[in-house]
Chain A
Amino acid sequence: MSQQILRIARPTKIELIRLRRRLRIAKRLHKVLKDRLIILTQELISLIRDAIELREEVNEYVGKCYDSLIKVLMISRFEDVLSYANSRFLRSEVVIGSRVVAGTRVPLIDLRRELRKTEFGSFVNTSLIMSSECFDELLSRVARLAEVEESVIKLGNEVARVKRRVNALENILIPRIENTIKFLEMKFEEREREDKMRLKKVKELLARRK
């Protein structure tokens, strides 16, 4: 914590009032930033947890899906698998937008797909359907993981930035203002004591002259 005091032009009462006002603003600002930091940190922790979970799931799905694809390719032609994969969805799109978390813009990736309801040819078998369903799951998790990991990076940078400001207020600015206020109050008390002593001396001097 800083022990320094602010440099003031003149130790006056006006300066003391101004400093008290500055201290109030600084304390209010400190509370705002601290609340923001709490919210951002909570958000960051929950996103990190999500990212770890999603990464584990993605790794698990990658193994599972490619195993099932190998099994499918053993019984089906590659062209049939490819044509099924290309025509499985009527509509498949990725919406990339942004959302705001406590003043920080983070990405939002939404995967939207509409399954084709028509019957496919005789080449479609259960293992092909199961394998494609596995890849659907994998793709949705990959999209979510991309969103979460990018959000973690952005929120992490913001947390570091806000933390620096909170620390600057907590350890430098607020203690310096408080020290200066204390210094000024002591100065005024001293001046008051000196005045009292001077008046006493003058009184004594006048009494002696009489």
Chain B
Amino acid sequence: MDLHNEVIERYLRDELRVVNKSLPIKRRPLNELIKEDTPYVLTRDGGIHVFRKSEIMLAYELLGDELASKLYLPIILEVRTDIESSTVLVVNDEVAAELIAKILGVNDYSLPMYIYPIQLKVLRRRIGTLIHYAFTIKLT
């Protein structure tokens, strides 16, 4: 029985590695990606994450030339697992927050920007390939 439990625990602990294994190795700026035919980034598990060209164009149109060099893609949405009551996603990047605010039609926002699952639906529809989830765990 004890060995069985140990195995279950080890198995479950490996799950934590699985959830973040597909994060990008290096994020790339929007103005660089827009020039490419097939924009993509490499991920930590050795694969690639391809961005939809139409979504890249939409982000470029919404942000303009100046901010495009400051937006690094994919936008990382941190899933705050330390908040017990509900699922909350956080954006810490200023330019990314501006883009998300424009898409969601939010005028007042501050950093960190909190996104709730209900708002995710809109983001997923319009910039689904530009966002990426990262699960953060508070160690203390």
Contact = CB atoms under 8 A, between A and B. Distances in A.
Given A95-B38, A97-B50, A110-B52, A33 B5 contact: no
A33 B79 CA distance: 11
Interface residues of A, number: 36
Contacts of B8: 168, 172-173
Tell me which of A6, A22, A103 has the highest count of chain B C-beta atoms within 10 A of its own C-beta: A103
Given A33-B15, A112-B53, A39 B133 contact: yes
Contacts of A6: 1-2, 5
B57 interface: no
Interface string A20-35: 0010011011011101
A67 to B, nearest CB: 29
A165 to B, nearest CB: 6
A154 B81 CA distance: 24
A100 interface: yes
Contacts of A28: 81, 137
A199 interface: no
Interface residues of B, number: 40
B137 A105 contact: no
Contact of A102 (B84, B125, B133): B133
B21 interface: yes
A149 interface: no
B19 interface: yes
Nearest to A93: B37
Contacts, number: 99
A176 B6 CA distance: 13
Interface string B1-19: 1100100110011011011
Contacts of A32: 15-16, 19, 81, 135, 137
Interface in B32-52: 38, 40, 43, 47-52
Interface stretch (B63-71, B96-104, B106-114, B116-124): B116-124
B124 A43 contact: yes
B81 A35 contact: yes
A42 interface: yes
B19 A102 contact: yes
Contact of A97 (B5, B20, B40, B128): B40
Interface of B: 1-2, 5, 8-9, 12-13, 15-16, 18-22, 38, 40, 43, 47-53, 79, 81-82, 84, 87, 117, 120-121, 124-125, 128-129, 132-133, 135, 137
Interface of A: 6-8, 22, 25-26, 28-29, 31-33, 35-36, 38-39, 42-43, 46, 95, 97-103, 105, 108, 110, 112, 165, 168-169, 172-173, 176
23 contacts: A26-B9, A28-B137, A29-B16, A31-B81, A32-B137, A33-B12, A38-B87, A38-B117, A42-B121, A43-B124, A46-B121, A46-B124, A97-B48, A97-B50, A98-B48, A99-B49, A102-B19, A103-B19, A103-B22, A108-B129, A110-B52, A173-B5, A173-B9
